Amino acid sequence: MTMRGAFMADLVLPAFEMDCRDWMVVSPSEAGVPDDVEGAPVLAVLSTVVITHDLREATGALTVGMIDAGEELATRAVAPGAAAHELLDEDTTPGTRRYVMPAPGNHRLALLAEFVVGEDDLELDRRVERLMVSFRWQGA
């Protein structure tokens, strides 16, 4: 097996089950967002809108990061066996939800999803939570 073949066998990709009636995915440039946040590359921007007597929106950015060796993150699993964990950071801005999805195996690589959701918006919270529950790492 070549080195390239060995690497490709270990490669995993992120995947969500997204209902296109609820979510839109755009590149950072299309959303008017910088290509990186504090040095972490932005992979995509996710957006969902609830239309009632007004418009309510949740917008999130997916970035790539590294987990420091030995770092203990305060998290909660979004569902039993789920790959995504909500970060329980006391310094988080109200209305912001942050999730981490560590890569499988002994890799330090992780995806970070950060959403801005209006406070006390149950429908938007439900959509974000359902999206995070659907996250899976998949072999290439």
Q: Which residue has the tokens 């950015």?
A: 61
Tens digit of each residue's pLDDT (9 = 90 or more) over 55-76: 888 889 999 888 887 778 889 9
Q: Which residue range is the domain that position 126 belongs to?
A: 3-139
Domain count, the chain: 1
- Specify whether the backbone of 91 is left (phi greater than 0), alpha (psi in -120 to 50) or beta: alpha
Tens digit of each residue's pLDDT (9 = 90 or more) over 6-59: 334 555 677 888 777 788 888 888 877 778 777 778 888 888 888 887 888 888
The Cα 42–Cα 105 span in angstroms is 23
| Burial label, 110 (beta-carbon count in 10 A; 0-12, 13-18, 19+) | middle
Q: Which residue has the tokens 């790492």?
A: 137
φ, ψ (nearest 5 deg) of residue 125: -60, -40
